[in-house]
Structure 1
Amino acid sequence: MTRPVLSVKNLTTSFRSDGDWKSIVRDISFDVAPGETLAIVGESGSGKSVTSMSIMRLLDPAASRIEGSVQLDGRELLTLSEGEMRHVRGRDIAMIFQEPMTSLNPVFTVGRQIGEVLTRHRKMSKGEARKAALAMMDRVRIPNAAQRIDEYPHQFSGGMRQRIMIAMALAARPRLLIADEPTTALDVTIQGQILDLIKELQREEQMAMLFITHDMGVVAEIADRTLVMLRGDLVETGTTEDIFARGTHPYTRALLAAVPRIGSMEGEAKPLRFPAIDPATGEPKPLPPVASDIDRNAAPLLSVRDLVVRFKSGSDILGRPTGAVHAVEKVSFDLFHGETLSLVGESGCGKSTTGRAILRLVEPKSGDVVLDGMNVRELGHSELLRLRRRGQMIFQDPFSSLNPRMTIAQTVAEPLLKHRIVDRKGARDMAGDLLRQVGLDPVMLDRYPHEFSGGQRQRVAIARVLGLKPEVIVADESVSALDVSIKAQVCNLLMDLQERHGIAFLFISHDMAVVERMSHRVAVMYLGEIVEIGTREQIFADPQHPYTRKLLSAVPVPDPTRRSERRNQPIEELKSPIRPLGYEPPARHWREVVPGHLVMHEAIA
């Protein structure tokens, strides 16, 4: 029998709290064989990352205590000195972290950072390390690696920074790779490329891998075996095929039931709520579709025509701009009462800028935005303040959009007082009622944002928006960073509010499976322009533009039987939207596939 690369026995990790030890991970045991991928899954707070940090001995020894056994190729790691562990990290065990921008040193070039691993662990000279770093950059498919080796992390996109992290992790040919949520923050096409790349490099090196994630679609694609964690305990483990087909623990079944699947909406004319989970059995309970009907013969609530947003870029010797970022270019669409229109595309395509321009959070260069008969671009300060009541925005990261110094009561009441909807005496009662509407207990009013989970903070952000009774809400990646079951709850909440209040949503996202479930219509953006728009059924059942097909083919499929498949997508970054000053794009031509389904004729230059 092959000896495992990693053997973890009875691992318990505790942290000091109020003078006592509190266990966060309890009695975890597993093995990882050469060439095998073990996925650890669970929601935030389940102990996944603490397990990986315990294996790497990266926790502060003054505030943490690790018990049990962690053996790498039969060598006990928990008894090694810190100096000995430094030789193990990077050489024998490597780790890819979730956010590469916080893991890469901003003051060193990427070539130097990859080379540092080789000079330290492989005793190469600087010249040899540079050649090897360039070879690694080519191996992880960095375009024009020879020209980019001396660039800094901020000059790379998120997907390319993650490739640099993979190159650093694999440079010394480790026996074990720990990948901690390496694709969670990436666009679906970049995520697909990264997963294909990791699988290919693993096959070449026969490397063992510990893959930590809460995305069950990714688990199905990459893992041989799966370990499910809940609040620090191992609740189920087995082959990935068995877990998906015959998972027995209620929490495992709840995780799988909450995963949206592309194609599951076939035959459904309206958006469909995510199934509720019976807490006793873990079985899904289907919920009815959204009941609201869209009257597209009526005047649209929001009408956008030829919207253009550009930002100055670069400067010459006199400080004058040399170019412009064409962030949004001639974007047009209508949004009707009670409708959800989803804007989809990769990071940098102009989705968020479009949402912000509609609400005048950034100033458009040209175009018309008409909200219920008001031309938004012509409004003065006082009229713009009134507009804020009718159009609101939910941001991607609620922690950065909530004031950490304000209690939840103050946060939710602030817009109510600003717009004089209620006086100070009634503000607290109304804030409590708004919390009830989003599924939170009013006893939480005196807490601060840091005392809430990510899903709860997003509910607070929604409650703050609801108080103004807006007609249009721009939801900018409002569920992308949430765990799968919390994401389902927040999406259901948005659909419930839409049905109850007739709210129109501009839903900005790169999660195509969620978009399919929530949308009435979908618009696909690429390099600042809409390249295809139509109903949900038209876009998902009959995509016409090559970029739309690329987005859909990249979505991870939660089916382990398809794990050996590769997408073979070309490795490329989104083209730059920066153009010389004075540049005007050529006129675009559209083809109507069927009524309401429009696709741009030619590719964008």
Structure 2
Amino acid sequence: MSTMMTAAAHAEMPAVLSVEGLTTSFLVDGGWRPVVRNISFDVMPGETVAIVGESGSGKSVTSLSIMRLLARDQSRVEGRVLVNGRDILALSERDMQAVRGNEVAMIFQEPMTSLNPIFTIGRQISEVLRRHKGMSKAQARAETIRMLDKVRIPNAGARFDEYPHQFSGGMRQRVMIAMALASRPNLLIADEPTTALDVTIQGQILDLIKELQEEEGMSVLFITHDMGVVAEIADRTIVMLRGDVVEQGQTADIFRRGQHSYTRELLAAVPKLGSMHGHAWPLRFPIGDIGSGKAEEPIEVANTVDTRKTPVLSVRNLVTRFPIRSGLLGRQTGAVHAVENISFDLFQGETLSIVGESGCGKSTTGRSITRLVEPKSGEVHLDGYNVLSLDQPGLRAMRRSVQMIFQDPFSSLNPRMTVGATIAEPYLKHRLGSGGEAQGKVADLLRKVGLAPEMTDRYPHEFSGGQRQRIAIARALALNPKVIVADESVSALDVSIKAQVCNLLMDLQEEFNLSFLFISHDMAVVERISHRVAVMYLGEIVEIGPRAAIFDNPQHDYTKKLMAAVPVPDPERRGLRRGTSIDELKSPVRPAGYEPPRREYREVTAGHFVQV
């Protein structure tokens, strides 16, 4: 059954899922606090409906309420949830178990939390078939291998007896989809199933869900915060904000004629690949305060980069490897070639982005430059001295010039220290001023990152994710550094918060003439904020050059693959199939003594180099 069903055809068929007046409340301080309020929607046969919204919007609570997966003593679900005409909220728990996995299946954001690490993946899928379909062990094995083939897992028969840890993130998500579809449910609920995946793997999973839906005639309820994903996969879209549905309708109408200010702000905040064509320098995101209904005009950031001068950071032939030891004597049998002979310069006031998928070596590059991990060889020159030859006192002094911002600010902020003490700590440790001066510095930095100075006495848990990232940025600025290494610093943020933090980084760069080494897998964000881009694959730079040259004229096959996989917020791409290969990223593990071949580069245009 095709997913492209007409409105008339839908009208003649009963809904697979009908949610009526759903209200979900949690027990807080002895009272019931509603977090989802009186929402209603239908999912028709063969249809994909997306629920979109940011953290705290209630979209995941909605899906968990439908599946009755919330703790019964801490939650209360009211209204009606009809699956094939039957109100499943009125069922006993035993009857509900027969619904889960059989009529309605669910896949989650992180498959490792859903797969049991002590059982093979074959056994876990077979168990579903034996329980719901009454198959024999041999029948279940044969059907499981067929399902693994169906979700495009290479060499499925041999991988039946492997464990979850032996699969990559993308392949584990395929296993979860195989398990969810094993009983041929009428409805698949997919809760952020691609958020944690690299862009090429995300593209493969989206293609897979579309193909399987068409083959099986299945309905899909897709939960996400990514408007690009929504445009590519959804027939209809429901927009949620703080527990309420603020808008719903055909996806094309939502994108072209969104009525609610929040919908328009969400769409404005989405970086669109190709939107920088014709712009010479980075461009701020056109957002205002979310919820205000006011959007800023996009402003081109003034170019402050002079590549004729001496670079502020110069990396030459950097190599970082991690030894692999085995046997009783712990003898080295191999090594992870995380960073392999890379070279680049970073100039004052410039943003050089390093892009690539998980395992390509981009984060290790940032950590090697700051010596949070020790490189094997190479040179890193900062302010004219080689960072890799510094002793501990010299290294401490160097860190005044280069600071890092990490992906998860909560894990990098001390939960026992107030944010004021956290920001002041490096300033005081480097003896840049007195306690009173530190207080003034903290207040000034909080203002600069868009927070109130009165917040100094609060603790990290009292802030949102976006606010915590602003605190991490303020701490990085406390030492007046020349270089900031931003390691996936906006990857975990909601789309509007991501846009706000990117705008903040560009504002700070313009004010302080900062240099950014921006490490990311998000090609659309990288296009927006970069002066130059380096593409990494298996520890090596395969292409590097000015942002316009890389995005307008990509030369390396891997660069092209990364760009082709980026979801574009355009409903016209609804039926798109990328046709990307399903090969997993190759392993950077090499046997002991292995030395890679010397790489050659071709200059395409001025400053644009590609590996040959």
TM over 0.5: yes
Residue 299 of structure 2 is aligned to residue 288 of structure 1 = yes
Q: CA deviation at 1:277?
A: 2.8
Deviation at 1:314, TM superposition (A): 4.5
CA distance in 2, matches of 1:280, 1:494: 22
1:357 aligns with 2:368: yes
Within the candidate set 11, 27, 38, 1:27 is matched to 38
Q: Cα offset for 1:270?
A: 0.5
The code of the aligned residue for 2:15 comes to P
Structure 2 counterpart SS, 1:295: coil
- The answer as to 2:87 corresponding to 1:76 is yes
Out of 333-342 and 83-92, give the one that drifted further. Answer: 83-92
Count, aligned residues: 601
The aligned counterpart of 1:405 is 416
Structure 1: how far apart are the matches of 2:90 and 2:380?
Answer: 65
Per the TM alignment, residue 283 of structure 1 is displaced from its structure 2 partner at its CA by 5.0
| Distance in 1 separating the partners of 2:72 and 2:218 | 29
Distance 1:546 1:211, change over 3 A: same
Q: Could you tell me which of 386, 392, 402 is aligned with 2:403?
A: 392
2:324 to 313, 316, 319: 313
Distance 1:442 1:77 in 2: 50
Whether the 8 Å CA contact 2:316–2:379 is kept in 1: the answer is yes
Q: Which residue of 2 aligns with 1:415?
A: 426
1:91 is aligned, of 102, 115, 124, to 102
Structure 1 residue 438 corresponds to structure 2 residue 454: no
Other-structure match for 1:122 = 133
The alignment partner of 2:407 has SS state of coil
Partner of 2:284, secondary structure, is coil
Match of 1:16 among 27, 35, 44: 27
Q: Are the counterparts in 2 of residues 12 and 25 from structure 1 also a CA contact under 8 Å?
A: yes
Deviations 1:126-184 (CA, angstroms, capped at 9, x unpaired): 33222222221111111222222222222221111111111111111111111111111
Deviation at 1:410, TM superposition (A): 2.2
Question: CA deviation digits over 1:375-427, x for unaligned, max 9?
Answer: 00000000100111111111111121112222222222221222122333443
Cα shift readout 1:509-539 (whole Å, capped 9, x = no counterpart)? 1111000000000000000000000100000
Whole-angstrom distance in 2 between the partners of 1:281 and 1:231: 14
Alignment equivalent of 1:144, drawn from 151, 155, 162: 155
Q: Does 1:557 align with 2:568?
A: yes
State the alpha-carbon separation in 2 of the partners of residues 90 and 399 from structure 1: 35
SS in 2 for 1:65: strand
Report which stretch shifted further, 135-144 or 384-393. 135-144
2:55 aligned counterpart, secondary structure: coil
Q: Does 1:252 align with 2:263?
A: yes
1:487 maps to which residue? 498
Residue 265 (str. 1) matches residue 276 (str. 2): yes
Aligned partners of 1:253 and 1:283 also within 8 Å: no
Match 2:459 to one of 448, 464, 489: 448
After alignment, is 155-164 or 589-598 more displaced? 155-164
CA contact (8 A) 2:262 2:291 kept: no
Tell me if 1:519 matches 2:510.
Answer: no
Change over 3 Å in CA distance of 1:591–1:124 after alignment to 2: same
Q: Secondary structure at the match of 2:37?
A: strand
How big is the shift at 1:448? 2.0
| Counterpart residue type for residue 484 of structure 2 | I
Secondary structure, aligned partner of 1:178: strand
Q: In structure 2, what is the equivalent of residue 211 of structure 1?
A: 222
3-state SS of 1:78 partner: helix
Kindly state the Cα deviation for residue 10 of structure 1 after the two structures are TM-superposed.
0.5
Partners of 2:214 and 2:453 lie apart in 1 by 53
Contact 2:290–2:496, Cα closer than 8 Å, also in 1: no
Q: In structure 2, what residue type is equivalent to 1:554?
A: A
Cα distance in structure 1, aligned partners of 2:539 and 2:190: 33
What do the CA deviations read for 1:63-87 (whole angstroms, capped 9, x no partner)? 1111100010011011111111111
* DSSP-derived class of the 1:323 partner: strand
Q: Is the 8 A contact 2:418 2:456 kept in 1?
A: yes
Contact in 2 for aligned 1:229/1:236 (Cα 8 Å): yes
Aligned partner of 2:231 in structure 1 is 220
Deviation at 1:460, TM superposition (A): 1.1
Deviation at 1:542, TM superposition (A): 0.3
Question: Structure 1 CA distance, aligned partners of 2:326 and 2:481?
Answer: 41
Give the secondary-structure state (helix, strand or coil) at the position aligned to 1:321: strand
CA distance in 2, matches of 1:456, 1:165: 34
**CA separation in 2, counterparts of 1:513 and 1:363?**
31
User: Where do residues 329-340 of structure 1 align in structure 2 (5 Å cutoff)?
Assistant: 329-340=340-351
Which piece of structure 1 moves more, 574-583 or 142-151? Answer: 142-151
The 2-side partners of 1:468 and 1:99 are apart by 37
Q: Is the 8 A contact 1:184 1:481 kept in 2?
A: no
CA contact (8 A) 2:320 2:338 kept: yes
- Whether the 8 Å CA contact 1:340–1:506 is kept in 2: the answer is yes
Q: How does 1:160-175 map to 2 (within 5 A)?
A: 160-175=171-186
Q: Which amino acid aligns with 1:176?
A: L
d(CA) in 1 for partners of 2:186, 2:387: 59
Structure 2 CA distance for partners of 1:144 and 1:317, relative to 1, 3 Å:
farther
**Contact 2:360 2:536 (C-alpha < 8 Å) held by counterparts:** yes
What is the TM-score normalised by the length of structure 2?
0.96
Distance in 2 between residues matched to 1:321 and 1:111, nearest whole Å: 33
CA displacement at 1:333 relative to structure 2: 0.3
Q: Is the 8 A contact 2:401 2:480 kept in 1?
A: yes
Question: 2 CA distance for matches of 1:122 and 1:280?
Answer: 48
Could you tell me how far apart the structure 1 residues matched to 2:404 and 2:289 are?
Answer: 32
Paired with 1:440 and 1:225, the residues of 2 have a C-alpha distance of 37
Letter paired with 2:588? P
Residue among 228, 241, 245 paired with 1:230: 241
CA separation in 1, counterparts of 2:411 and 2:139? 43
Counterpart AA for 2:272: R
**Larger displacement relative to structure 2 (437-446 or 266-275):** 437-446
Deviation at 1:196, TM superposition (A): 0.1
Q: 1:216 and 1:581 mapped to 2: Cα distance?
A: 46
Q: 2:144 aligns with which of 115, 133, 152?
A: 133
Report the 3-state secondary structure (helix = DSSP H, G, I; strand = E; otherwise coil) of the residue aligned with 2:545: strand
Moved more, 581-590 or 438-447: 438-447
**1:2 aligns to 2:2 (yes or no):** no
- Structure 1 stretches of 5 or more lacking a match? none
Deviation, structure 1 residue 279: 5.9
Cα pair 2:23 2:34 within 8 Å, conserved: yes
CA distance in 2 between partners of 1:242 and 1:145 (Å): 41
> For 1:148 and 1:590, how far apart are their aligned partners in 2?
38
1:188-215 deviation digits (Å, cap 9, x = unpaired)? 1111000000100111111111101110
Are positions 1:196 and 2:207 aligned together? yes
Deviation by residue 1:229-275 (Cα, 9 ceiling, x = unmatched): 01101100000000001101000000001111111111111100001
Alignment of 1:45 onto 2:22: no
Deviations 1:457-516 (A, max 9, x none): 111111111111111111111111111100000000000010000110010111110000
Rounded Cα–Cα distance in structure 2 between residues aligned with 1:387 and 1:406: 25
In the alignment, structure 1 residue 108 sits paired with structure 2 residue 123: no
Q: Structure 2: how far apart are the matches of 1:127 and 1:305?
A: 57
Amino acid at match of 2:229: V
